[in-house]
Structure 1
Amino acid sequence: MRGWKLKRTAQCAKCPWRKDVDPHDIPNGYCETKHRALVDTIAVEGDLSNLFGPLRMMACHELEDAHCVGWLANQAGPGNNIGLRIRLHSCENADRIRLVGEQHETFEATLP
């Protein structure tokens, strides 16, 4: 599999996965309706349907066409998104992913 690179590796200041961010203060049109629609990007335990097909991802609200770094860290870690984990093996800069502060452990916690 050919290598690829993340456009962003550092978590942004207003990432909803950060516990110190109020999701209502996220810029660029971010709102509760858009946030709730992102539930489709969260891995479902035992569901392996994303292993070979397209991967639904949470995009960064600041940078066009980039993954949300908080989502990446969650889904590659406690979210146990197997399809994402497999894809990250060919990512040339996945080792540069950097989070800021405490993170929410679940998608549901990102919008209290």
Structure 2
Amino acid sequence: MTNWKLKRTAQCEKCPWRVDVDPHDIPDGYCETKHQALVETIAEPGALPVPGAPLRAMACHETDEAHCVGWVNHQLGIGNNIALRLRMDSCLNIDKLRLRGKQHPSFEATLPGKPTESA
């Protein structure tokens, strides 16, 4: 695998993984249907990747050109996304990842109308 860099390392101001963000305030066409479809990017914790299967990543809502920093943090941590962990082995700037405040402990907690839990 060739070395690569994340296009964004700082979590954006309206990231849905932040506990203090109301997802209804996310700009550029956010809706609950689109948000619900993102469940496809959440790995089964600790599951081994299927050989040849693409890594489904959550893009930042500000640009499709960058990963969602909150998602990367969650999936590398308590989300235990093995495929992402393997991919990040060749990432040259993963050590620059910066979060803003408390993060939701699960994807389900980021959905509107769900109680927010702090991690």
Quick check: TM above 0.5? yes
Relative to the length of structure 1, the TM-score reads: 0.94
Paired residues of 1:51 and 1:82 also in contact (CA < 8 A): no
Q: Distance in 2 between matches of 1:50 and 1:59?
A: 21
Unmatched segments (≥5 aa) in structure 1: none
The structure carrying a bigger strand percent of its residues is: 2
Relative to the length of structure 2, the TM-score reads: 0.89
Report what 1:4 is aligned to. 4
Identity value in percent: 67
What RMSD in Å do the two structures reach over aligned CA positions?
1.2
Unmatched segments (≥5 aa) in structure 2: 115-119
Report what 1:99 is aligned to. 99
Report what 1:55 is aligned to. 55
Q: Distance in 2 between matches of 1:49 and 1:42?
A: 12
Structure 2 counterpart of 1:93, one-letter code = N
Q: Distance in 2 between matches of 1:15 and 1:80?
A: 20
Paired residues of 2:10 and 2:97 also in contact (CA < 8 A): yes
- Say which SS state the counterpart of residue 64 (structure 1) adopts: strand
Structure 1 counterpart of 2:59, one-letter code = A
